[in-house]
Amino acid sequence: MKSKTVRIKDNIEVQNMIFSKIRDYIISKNLGPGDKLPSERELSDNFDVSRRFVVEAIEKLEFYGLVNSMPQSGTFLAEIGHIALIGIIEDIITLEKKDFLSLVETRLMLEAKSVYLAATRRTDEDLKKIEAAFNRYKTKILSGEDALQEDLLFHLAIVKASKNSSINDLMLQITPKIISVFRKTRVSNEEGFNFEVAKHEAILNAIRDKNPEEAVKRMEFHFNLLIEFCNDFK
């Protein structure tokens, strides 16, 4: 059964608005390295948005190394020059608006190559790790729970089995950025759950059989949903 994608353009616009306001605040106060930002609650009130959006925005800025969040102390600007800091924040806003599809295309290429190599190079130990990741994913999704993290760990287990450190590094860099925009669609019934599990299991079986061509075919089929999301995102 075909799944329905979740439109999140509104969420992206809210987050970009928060980034823009944080940028404007830094400029207006002429903040620099080590200076403290207002609390998440203050930002939420000032920007008139849910605190959840502010938390997500701060987490993303921390991911990019622009701020440091210290428990009980607050959020501080990283040791980056004022001009560079503003420029990077503007780049992040541009990324969310324009470069998401490029990131997805890059991930698709990396996944195709990594699953090919994994099916060719995987060891018995690698296979056990992929199987364990698959079983964790299967348990979560069949119970109707959010399996986003388990899905990610399944794919990263495949990447590690490819024995290509460059692909592994690139995947670790771009995947969090994609996840911040794309939330895995939750299928709404048992048939949908089983279909998602079956697609993952087909990838696993191809790797187990050391059939790289079949592994690539199954991985591409698995990503049809993400491609549909991208078409909708446009």
The structural domains of the chain, with segments of one domain joined by +, span 9-80, 100-233
Flag whether pLDDT at 79 surpasses 90.
no
**194 burial via Cβ count (<10 Å: 0-12, 13-18, 19+):** middle
CATH class name, domain 9-80? mainly alpha
207-231 pLDDT tens trace: 999 999 999 999 999 888 777 766 6
CA-to-CA distance for 198 and 138, rounded, in angstroms?
9
Q: Which two tokens stand for residue 220?
A: 């591409």
pLDDT bin (cut points 50, 70, 90) of residue 180 is low
* pTM for the full predicted model: 0.58
181-198 pLDDT tens trace: 555 444 445 566 788 899
Q: Which two tokens stand for residue 114?
A: 């990594």
Comparing 16 with 201, the larger pLDDT belongs to 201
Residue 76 φ then ψ, to 5°: -120, 145
pLDDT at 3: 40
CA-to-CA distance for 157 and 126, rounded, in angstroms?
8
DSSP one-letter code for 186: P
Flag whether pLDDT at 99 surpasses 50.
yes
**Identity at 180, one-letter amino acid code:** S
Q: Which helix (H) or strand (E) holds 203?
A: helix 190-208
Percent of the chain with pLDDT over 90: 50
Question: Pairing state of beta strands 74-77 and 67-70?
Answer: antiparallel
Q: What is 100-233's CATH topology?
A: Four Helix Bundle (Hemerythrin (Met), subunit A) (1.20.120)
